[in-house]
Structure 1
C-alpha cells in the first residue's frame, strides 16, 4: 500500500498545470556562482512570464517539498543518509566550498530547493494525467539514480515521478522518457535498466559528461550528437527519433526533459542550437 503523500493532494482547479515555488532557487553567500549551472534560472523564467503578463501567481501550482518517505519510493536509505555529509553534497553539486559548510545549512540552502523541485516533478506527473499536460519549471535531475547523485542532481525526480504514477494511478503502466538535455541522462537510465515498461530516448553530446557506457544500455533510441551540432541536423534527428519512439511504444505518460544547455554558447553543452530552434523542441 503506497504511503500517503501531500504531493498527490488536489490542487486548485483554477490553477494552470504549471508547478513552481520560489524555494526552487539556490542563493547563499554567492556559492551558487561558483558553478556554470545557473541555480536561480527557475525564478528568472517565472519573472519573465510575469513581466510579459503571460502568467500570475494565482495561476501557478505551488510545489511542495518531497519528504523522506516520498524519496524512499526510489532512493535507498543509505543514499539519503550520505546526503547528511557536506562533502558528499559538495561532490554532487560540484561546488567544493560546500564541503566546509555545516550540514544543517547545506540541507536548508542547497538540498531543500532540490527536494522542492523534486516534489514539483512528482506533482507535475499527476497533473499531466489529470489535465493532459503539465510543466515543472524546475527539476529534470537526470544524472541522479536511486543510490548515486552527480552533475548537480541530488534526487532522482524523473524516476520518482514515473514510479509514483505506476504505483498510484490506475491505467498508467507504460512511460516514455524523451531526454533532450545536452548531457546523457544516466540516472533514470540506470534506474530503468531492465524495466520494459519504460522506453528511453536520449539525445546528447557524445563527448561530454557523464559518458556512462553502462547506463547507455537502457536507451532504446540513442541519438549521439557531435560537437557543434547545428539547427538543421538537430531538428531532423529529433523529429525522426521522437516519431519513431512514439510508434514503438504507446505510452500512458510522456516525460520530456528539456535542457536549455543545447543552446549555442552554453558553457557545458557543446552544441550550437539557436534560441528559435530551442523553442521549437519545447
Structure 2
C-alpha cells in the first residue's frame, strides 16, 4: 500500500501479537492428513430458513462428498480445525463490532437472508417485511449461524500454517472478503482473510503476503483492513457493476482488474494471464492467499459473468501454477458461489489440481 502503518500501530501490534501467540488455532497436523481443511460444523442448517438465501449453506460439505466419491481423498485424511474464539477474533475485530453481533437483527443484515411477509395482526391485512433471522433469540442465531462461520475462520487461519509446511492448503470454506475489522456484510460475518494473514505475520515470521481475489465481487473487507499496510499486496479481479460498490476500498487495491457483466471464459482467462504477469514483476510474496469464489460461473445470479466450469478449473490451475513457479505457499479459500452446481465445480477443480500434480492428495510430506 502507499502508506506506512499508522502512528498508534505499535501498541496495537503488541496486544495483537500476544493474542496470536496464546491462540490454540495453530496445532501440529499429522503427516497422514492431506492439506484439505473442513469440518461438518461448517455447514449451516437453520430450520429451513437458509433456503431463503441464494447461497448454498451446505456447499462445503457437498464439496468434500464429491471429492471422497471421486477418490481424490478419504474422509480420515481431512484436517478438522478448531473454532475461532473471541480472543482469536479480537486479533482483527474490535470489542464493539463483536458486541454488535449479539443482536440478531445485525447478524440478519450481514448475512442478508431474504425478508418474508410477516402477519402483524390477525384482524388486519397489514404485513411487513421482516428478516427471518432477526426474529430468533441471539442464542439460536449464535449456535446456528455464527458458530459455523467461526469454525470456518479457524480453518482459514490454520490453512496458513499448513500451507507454509506443505506448500499448499485448501480450506473448503472461508473467504469472507466483505468483512473488515469494523463491518460485516455480503454474507461475511468475520474477517477470516485478515485473520489468516495476521497469524502468518506473527506465527510464521512472514512479512510479505499477496492476496489474489478472484471472486466475482470486490474484496472490500480485506482491502480496508490492509489499506495502510505495505506487507500486503492485493490483486482483485472483480465485476465493478455488482455489490459492494465500495469506491473507497477500491483505492486500496494495488492491482485492480475489472471484468464487466457478461465477460466470457476466454476474455476472463486472458485478463487473468495478463494480471498474473504484472503481479509477478510487482511483488515477491512469501505467502499467497487465493480467494477462489465460484460466483464467476455462467448463470450465477449475483456474479453476472459467463465463465464455464472448465474455465474455473483453468483459473484455479493458473493461480496454483503461479505459486508453484515461485515456490510460494498458497492458501485457497472457496468464498462465494450462488448456484447448487458450485460444489461440484469446486470439487472438479480440486481434482484437476491433483491430476496436474499441483497438489498431492495421496500423501503429505513436509516441506524442505
Q: TM-score, normalised by structure 2?
A: 0.75
- Residue equivalent to 2:157: 122
Q: 1:71 aligns with which of 42, 66, 89?
A: 89
Counterpart Cα distance in 1 of 2:183 and 2:51: 24
Counterpart Cα distance in 2 of 1:201 and 1:267: 24
Specify the SS of the correspondent of 2:56.
coil
The residue correspondences of 1:123-142 to structure 2 (distance < 5 A) are 123-142=158-177
Counterpart Cα distance in 2 of 1:246 and 1:146: 29
- Residue equivalent to 1:109: 144
Let me know the Cα RMSD of the aligned residues. Answer: 0.8
- Please report how far the alpha carbon of residue 154 of structure 1 lies from its aligned counterpart in structure 2 after TM superposition: 0.2
- Residue equivalent to 1:273: 307
Counterpart Cα distance in 2 of 1:154 and 1:242: 29
Size of the aligned set, in residue pairs, is: 281
The residue correspondences of 1:54-203 to structure 2 (distance < 5 A) are 54-95=72-113, 96-170=131-205, 172-203=206-237
CA deviation string 1:243-281 (max 9, x = no partner): 211321100100000010000001110000000011111
Structure 1 stretches of at least 4 aligned residues deviating more than 3 Å after TM superposition: none
Q: In the alignment, does 2:44 pair up with 1:26? A: yes
Specify the SS of the correspondent of 1:139.
coil
- Residue equivalent to 2:67: 49
CA deviation string 1:72-95 (max 9, x = no partner): 000001000100000000000001
Instruction: List alignment gaps of at least 5 residues for structure 2.
Output: 1-16, 114-130, 317-368
Counterpart Cα distance in 2 of 1:6 and 1:49: 28
Specify the SS of the correspondent of 2:247.
coil
Could you say which structure has the greater relative contact order, defined with CA pairs below 8 angstroms and 6 or more residues apart? 2
- Residue equivalent to 1:2: 18
Instruction: List alignment gaps of at least 5 residues for structure 1.
Output: none
- Please report how far the alpha carbon of residue 197 of structure 1 lies from its aligned counterpart in structure 2 after TM superposition: 0.8
Q: Could you say which structure has the larger radius of gyration?
A: 2
Counterpart Cα distance in 2 of 1:12 and 1:105: 35
Counterpart Cα distance in 2 of 1:13 and 1:77: 37
- Larger CA deviation: 130-139 vs 3-12: 3-12
Q: 1:222 aligns with which of 250, 256, 259?
A: 256
Q: In the alignment, does 2:56 pair up with 1:38? A: yes
Specify the SS of the correspondent of 2:301.
coil
- Please report how far the alpha carbon of residue 2 of structure 1 lies from its aligned counterpart in structure 2 after TM superposition: 2.5
Specify the SS of the correspondent of 2:211.
strand
- Please report how far the alpha carbon of residue 119 of structure 1 lies from its aligned counterpart in structure 2 after TM superposition: 0.5
Counterpart Cα distance in 2 of 1:19 and 1:273: 26
Counterpart Cα distance in 2 of 1:20 and 1:234: 29
Specify the SS of the correspondent of 2:93.
coil
- Residue equivalent to 1:247: 281
Q: TM-score, normalised by structure 1?
A: 0.98
Counterpart Cα distance in 2 of 1:42 and 1:240: 31
- Residue equivalent to 1:213: 247
- Please report how far the alpha carbon of residue 55 of structure 1 lies from its aligned counterpart in structure 2 after TM superposition: 1.1
Whether the aligned pair in 2 keeps the contact of 1:178 and 1:242 (CA below 8 Å) is no
Whether the aligned pair in 2 keeps the contact of 1:2 and 1:167 (CA below 8 Å) is no
